A and B are shown apart, each in its own frame.
Chain A
Amino acid sequence: MFIDFYYRLKQEGVPVSLTEWMTLMDALARGFAFSSLSAFYFLARAILVKSETNFDRYDLVFSRYFKGIETPEDILAAALAWLKSEKPLPAAPPTPAALLAQYNVEELRKLLAERIEEQKKEAVKEKRGGPFWIGTGGTSPFGESGSGGGVRLGGESNSMSAVKVAAERRYLDLRDDSITGVRQFEMALRALRQLSTKNEAPMDELDLDGTIDATSRKAGMLNIVWKRPRRNRMKVILLMDTSGSMLKFAQISRRLFTAVNRTTHFKDLRFYYFYNCVYDRVYANANHTQPVNTEHLFKTLNPEYRLIITGDATMNEHELLRPGGTISWNENNELSGLDWLKRLAKMYPHAAWLNPVPAANWTHYETIPPIREVFPMFELTPAGLEKAIQKLKTR
């Protein structure tokens, strides 16, 4: 029944492996949870969860799974204090981990459950007369509060029970599918790289094997040989929708923009802007005062460029499907917006569309499905960007 916790974690999307589960069992067998649910919470998290982005998922599972069996920490402390005042405990040594090795996990769990039950009763009817759990108090894996290192029951900084801590969901902000910061975008963008081949970069790295070989050929006269290092040669076009409907996504768009802008490892990076949909022209600035013919892009930027489009892909149907559908005053497009998008997709086979509209709502808009047929579409979140980048790397 405990193994369920493992499967629930997996279900929630926390990547837990059996190796880690066995490590946790090992740690539990050595008594590192001190039979306290709080200590168990931290211990299991440290061993099972390897990224703070998954802490929130862990918290969710933990609070659901352990709901109802919360450790009554303050009750234990109160009960202990009461017992101490009544009849001083024999000087209990701090519980060393070694003592705990004799318990296996099942026993510990059972003991914990029993102990909690007893304490509950104890708290309800504060009756005198040694309840049996004092008897084992000195050597009990519960330890006494406050002595030695580690988290103990009733430790001062843990006035909240583990389940309560978990239910607080303090790590919600760190989830990788929530919108948090520029940095997470940057991290995702780092994955977008393509190493140069041998004949592009300048030769400025010592080729050791070559040097040895050349030196030997000259009968020991030192002859240094250089080679080309491998560099990133990824080239990227970022095409951003700056129409009115995008204003409500301004913050997230700006974060992506900042992240891309800060990424220094691309060989070339071009920014262009469009209004609603791409037609004959795109713009070199966000205010749409410097038009660039879309044809010009096709001529100057070769298909090696990776194309990232951000936009909500929502517009009036005719703006996408009909020639002349552009809403810009002084322009008229002979090809429909969708045709232009198709041309773009044909020219740049490595392309992805990032949409700030949550994926669940995509089917609610008429213009999103046809665009999704042209471009692979991903949510504009760190997780979505990561998927988009996988797509951009392959084809």
Chain B
Amino acid sequence: MTTKPGEYKGTGDYIASADLQNIVNVAVALGRPLLIKGEPGTGKTLLAKSIADSLGLQLIIWNIKSTTKAQEGLYVYDTVQRLYDSQFGGCDVADIKQYIKLGKLGEAFAADKPVVLLIDEIDKADLEFPNDLLWELDIMNFYIPETKETIAAQNRPIVIITSNAEKELPDAFLRRCIFHYIEFPDKAMMRQIIAVHHPDLDQILLGQALEMFYTLRALNDLQKRPSTSELLDWVQALALGGVKPDKIATAIPLLGVLIKKDQDFATVLDQLHQKGSGDKAPTPYGVHNR
């Protein structure tokens, strides 16, 4: 809380919409965690990196897995090592401090400069996980009973939290956050994004590819719709493979880069090529193959 970070304006390699930029600045100024949701591949995780780059701060990433406990973000007390040492010697067992390892949140608090802390995919963890962090994120310190130490943040870290909406987050947690939903980019925005990654792309090829991409995304019943990162790979593959732009509309070359599931393949071919020609009556239920 001693040094004030500047204003976030997006970075060269990350296109942030004006409202997103403003929301980031609001969250920073109010000292609230910023919760980012959105379809996979809309750049939720990259946002944190962009913020860190733009403000010139260090980025600490805490990847959440289904087994992650809130406590691990604060610190871990390596009791097994201590037990081991007590038996086989080596270290001074009385010095508990050496068995306390700060977690990512602890690291962010202990840093002497403000940092950007990314809590990635918070919804992967147990349902109670966000609630367990409430207090620490609110008052920005925690107590280690083993060493009777309090780790307090010297500078309030900028906390970015991403969620894929796999689980509902608890209300108490949501109340404290600023929320932003990253929408899937429209064509114009997508052009900008692609230009950042592949500046030398043939415009006609790009136009055709985008056309097909958005057609694919609009199809019903796709289990996994292609996302931005897949489109980026696809246009690169198209350019490298020297595919003629007019081929894209008719044959969809390298479809495997966009569509990753067998069923979706079938759906795409079905809906694009047999449109209107003798539709079979759809069966109401899928085949049960458990």
Interface residues of A (CB under 8 A from B): 15, 17, 19-20, 23, 26-27, 30, 32, 39, 42-43, 45-47, 49-52, 55, 97, 148-151, 155, 157-158, 170, 182-183, 187, 190-191, 206, 208, 211-212, 215, 220-222, 240, 242, 246-247, 250, 253-254, 257-258, 261, 269, 271, 273, 285-286
Contact = CB atoms under 8 A, between A and B. Distances in A.
B290 A246 contact: no
Contacts of B26: 27, 32, 43, 46-47
Interface residues of B, number: 47
A261 to B, nearest CB: 6
25 contacts: A15-B171, A19-B175, A32-B25, A32-B26, A46-B179, A47-B26, A51-B179, A149-B10, A151-B18, A155-B18, A170-B183, A182-B223, A187-B168, A190-B166, A206-B80, A221-B87, A250-B282, A250-B285, A253-B284, A254-B284, A254-B286, A271-B288, A273-B285, A285-B288, A286-B283
Given A50-B175, A148-B7, A242-B285, 7 more contacts: A43-B22, A151-B18, A211-B83, A220-B87, A221-B87, A254-B284, A271-B290
A10 to B, nearest CB: 14
B167 A187 contact: yes
B75 to A, nearest CB: 15
A42 B19 contact: yes
B25 to A, nearest CB: 7
Interface in B18-44: 18-19, 21-23, 25-27, 29-30, 32, 35, 37
B180 interface: yes
> 7 closest A-B pairs (Cβ-Cβ)?
A250-B284, A50-B174, A42-B19, A150-B22, A52-B181, A286-B285, A50-B179
B4 to A, nearest CB: 11
Interface string B73-94: 0000001100110110000000
Nearest to B166: A187
Interface of B: 7-10, 17-19, 21-23, 25-27, 29-30, 32, 35, 37, 79-80, 83-84, 86-87, 165-169, 171, 174-181, 183, 223, 282-286, 288, 290
Given A149-B21, A190-B166, A220 B86 contact: yes
Contact of A261 (B174, B178, B284, B288): B288
B103 to A, nearest CB: 17
A50 B167 contact: no
A47 B181 CA distance: 12
A47 B256 CA distance: 40
B84 A23 contact: no
A32 B37 contact: no
